[in-house]
Structure 1
Amino acid sequence: MSSNGPDTSGHKGTLIVTGGSRGIGAAVARRAARDGWAVAVAYSQDSQGAEAVARDIAAAGGHAQAVHCEVTVEADIPALFTFAADRLGPITGLVNNAGITGPVSRVADLKTADLERLVAVNVTGAILCAREAVRRLSTARGGAGGAIVNISSAAARLGGPGELVAYAATKGAIDSLTVGLAREVADEGIRVNGVAPGLIETGIHAAAGAPDRLARLGPAVPIGRAGSAEEVAEAVVWLLSPAASYVTGTTIDVTGGR
């Protein structure tokens, strides 16, 4: 765990962004910092990317810490929250962004080890992070309330046939988590929402083994192109903000109409 920028008080709260070293997570961290959040940029492997995000935030006058956290390791999650609160101040938000697609594969060819890793990161890790957030934010447990945004995917309703059915299934689980948890903690000062990106220009497609996916599918999007991580971040930060104070249990599509 490393430090970037001074400790601070007087900001709107501390936001934890899992998978914050690149792509949508990095865009969310930078955008939230512009709105006055102190940001814990959590990462699993890409320490250099997380440090770069934290430096960018500090250079712009904000406050951030890069924090190592493997969401599949239960003990790492309370350690992340404790470190973030100690260094940046009280936690009032979580963006459950850490996720993987697994390799592109038909279900018949899916390897069990890939499936187990996919569920561990995308489902179990997200639920454990949400659990820790609720334990700290819930007014019923002495917290001050806050907001959780879960990153889903348009794949949850499109299904990902021929490529990413297992990934789509894990994002369907995230949609269920969003609705159920939102209703469970609505009277405890916590709002829970989701954002479902569509085809977004990040490195996740190449990591899945389909570097041409955006070029191949982008023209078929009704709006005529793939989206950017920054466009997704705008929706996430709005859901975290007081402007969305009456919004909970909702997942917003950021898909260009797909």
Structure 2
Amino acid sequence: MKKVVVITGGSRGIGAATSKLLAAKGFAVCVNYKSNKAQAESVVNDICDRGGKAFPFQADVSIESDVIALFEAVKNTYGSVTHLVNNAGILFQQASISKISVERFNKILTTNITSCFLCCREALKYMNEGAAIVNVSSAASRSGSPFEYIDYAASKGAIDTLTKGLSIEVASMGIRVNGVRPGFIYTDMHADGGEANRVDRLSPQIPLQRGGTPDEVANAILWLLSDEASYVTGSFIDLAGGK
């Protein structure tokens, strides 16, 4: 099978690491981004300089028309998508629930959940037996992230449920759907939440005594997409140092 993957939020952090790794393993990669064109082009240039195949595509994946255009562009460039990594997501400043506005809560849900739903739905229009999807959830879906990101945690809990349900819906088609739940990973997202050094602060509470890297998450995603995981569906890999 020719392997064609869409990676949402592919221009930074876990998305960028996954884009580069999958390209190195022979996937043709669509690096989706919302606004930072230069960052996405940097990832693509790095892939192409190493002999891989990749192209950037701007789309707000919480908007239906953008998602439809994204998968049409992939079809026109590399052929039908065979693999999907739903990585796009946002969080806001740390806050207890009493300080979270309904506008913020709804923005989190739309960006983190609606995007995952839309991309899964559109990808399945192109996918056949042997295809695979990995949804990037979070360890916050298990902890609830009290006093910091309850809205973000709730959105990731919904992604876990979507992952499980969809895996059963498409199992008879030979399509696998799994999730990864990173926690305490060194990415720019912590700065978005107002505490760039959050991982360092929490490291003493982690059984492995350190934060994780985007490359470590990318390796788990690669395995779940690969034929080595051919009997794995509806499952989750937790990447939180034992926490």
Indicate whether the TM-score tops 0.5: yes
One-letter amino acid of the counterpart of residue 250, structure 1: S
Q: Deviations over 1:202-223 (max 9, x none)?
A: 0000011122311211221100
Q: Does 1:32 align with 2:17?
A: no
Q: Is the 8 A contact 1:102 1:115 kept in 2?
A: no
The whole-number CA distance in structure 2 between the counterparts of 1:135 and 1:106 is 40
What stretches of structure 1 of length at least 5 have no aligned partner? 1-10, 138-142
C-alpha deviation, 1:144, in angstroms: 4.5
The whole-number CA distance in structure 2 between the counterparts of 1:110 and 1:90 is 40
Q: Deviations over 1:158-181 (max 9, x none)?
A: 110110111001000010011100
C-alpha deviation, 1:93, in angstroms: 0.3
The whole-number CA distance in structure 1 between the counterparts of 2:209 and 2:200 is 11
C-alpha deviation, 1:114, in angstroms: 1.0
Give the structure 1 partner of residue 146 of structure 2.
161
Q: Which one of the candidate residues 223, 226, 237 is aligned to 1:238?
A: 223
C-alpha deviation, 1:68, in angstroms: 0.4
Q: Which one of the candidate residues 222, 225, 232 is aligned to 1:247?
A: 232
SS in 1 for 2:55: strand
The whole-number CA distance in structure 2 between the counterparts of 1:25 and 1:206 is 17
The whole-number CA distance in structure 2 between the counterparts of 1:94 and 1:42 is 11
Give the structure 2 partner of residue 123 of structure 1.
113
Q: Is the 8 A contact 2:32 2:58 kept in 1?
A: yes
Q: Deviations over 1:1-53 (max 9, x none)?
A: xxxxxxxxxx7311000000000000000010111000000000111111011
The whole-number CA distance in structure 1 between the counterparts of 2:217 and 2:115 is 21
Q: Is the 8 A contact 2:83 2:132 kept in 1?
A: yes
One-letter amino acid of the counterpart of residue 229, structure 1: P
Aligned pairs for 1:103-252 within 5 A: 103-137=93-127, 143-252=128-237
The whole-number CA distance in structure 2 between the counterparts of 1:228 and 1:123 is 24
The TM-score normalised by the length of structure 1 is 0.92
Give the structure 1 partner of residue 38 of structure 2.
48
Give the structure 2 partner of residue 97 of structure 1.
87
The whole-number CA distance in structure 2 between the counterparts of 1:50 and 1:170 is 25
One-letter amino acid of the counterpart of residue 113, structure 1: E
How many residues of Structure 1 are paired with residues of Structure 2 in the alignment?
A: 243
Q: Is the 8 A contact 2:4 2:82 kept in 1?
A: yes
Query: What percent identity do the matched residue pairs reach?
Result: 47
The whole-number CA distance in structure 1 between the counterparts of 2:77 and 2:129 is 18
The TM-score normalised by the length of structure 2 is 0.98
C-alpha deviation, 1:116, in angstroms: 1.1
Q: Deviations over 1:85-112 (max 9, x none)?
A: 2112231000000001122110011011
RMSD value over aligned CA atoms? Answer: 1.0
C-alpha deviation, 1:145, in angstroms: 4.3
